[in-house]
Structure 1
Amino acid sequence: MGKLIGYARVSTRQQSTDRQEADLLAAGVRRDDLYVDQGVSGARASRPQFDRAVDALEEGDTLVITTLDRLGRSTQNMLAFAEELRQIDAGLRVLNLGGGDVDTSTPMGSMLFTIMAALAQMEHDIKSERITDSVSKRRAAGKHLGGRPRRITDSQIRSALHLIQNGETTAQVIRDLGISRSTFYRRAAELTP
């Protein structure tokens, strides 16, 4: 019986892998055999800690992940990875599939993995479609889309324009506001009818 190699990943630095790590440790993965990618998209084929986890796999070992989408977004990439596991005679265990091993070397395990990879990609595509649709609807309704709040108000931009019209240099006014020249000109253009 080989060892368990755990892998956890989150796409942004603001997210936490704490829950994934706790689940992997509870499944029997040793902390020394746990690899974590922080702020790395699943769409990338190469992820530093994922690559290290795969390199650590030896014959008879099992890669343990919490959900299938931790492997990636593309069915094609997941199937290529399954083939890579098959070549080194390693297994895969996905905890949200009931905790059972998905043995990609057997026809049944290979079929299950293929179906789950396709479902994971479909779920990601549907989620992306919903987000795009929501943004379009909010934009059409003239609603705020979120994002970073403006540090400089429209009133401050108007005051700056007034100072420039009265002889202050643009460079000095922009420096006093603490914004870039391009931001100032873009904001000024938005205010002029």
Structure 2
Amino acid sequence: MTFMAPVQTTPSASPKPGLRERKKTQTRQAIRRAAYRLFAEQGYDATPVDRIAEAADVSSSTVFRYFPTKEDIVITDEYDQLMEEAFRARPAEEPPLEALWNAIMDTLRQFYASEREEIDTRIRLTREVPAIRARMNESMTETGRMVIGVLSERTGRPTDDLELRVFVGAVLGALQEVMLHWGEQELTDDLVGVVDRTLALLARGLTL
């Protein structure tokens, strides 16, 4: 099929979150900020969760309620939810890769514009800490289930369809390699541009 380059679109506005959701977001952000500050000061392995809780002015149980493991403080974000909303909003006639490409790029531009420093920190930690890389693999599996679910609805294929799983695995595997490569390059390239080029590579295939 002929694959058209993704069109930059403005994501439809999501309903404004209620007070409870805003408070939960503020708590998550406070925990992350405290954790990143402590990781920078004393190292990831030397920073226990109870110290993060104290710095964020919450209890350790609150930290674990929002982040089941210490690695999740680095890995967990709101990106998947935003991407799922953007993916579901794509026109039904768009080919699967084009729709997913647009959803990923729309969400990444939005997220990176407001969270660049945090994203840089997270990718650096993922590169440096084996436990975080391992948890990232588990997180990618959860993301894959979400993407497969949306594609199943769009295509009518069952969620255990092999082609669907291979397609999603290829896209998410490519994105994971982008993050690791970008971290190895000391975050010098434009992340949004690198992701866009990577998805374009999947669309056209490797040329010699």
TM-score of the superposed pair, with normalisation by structure 2: 0.28
Report the structure, 1 or 2, having the larger helix content: 2
Report the structure, 1 or 2, having the larger strand content: 1
TM-score of the superposed pair, with normalisation by structure 1: 0.30
Computing the radius of gyration from Cα coordinates, the structure with the larger value is 1
Larger RCO: 1 or 2 (CA < 8 Å, sep 6+): 2
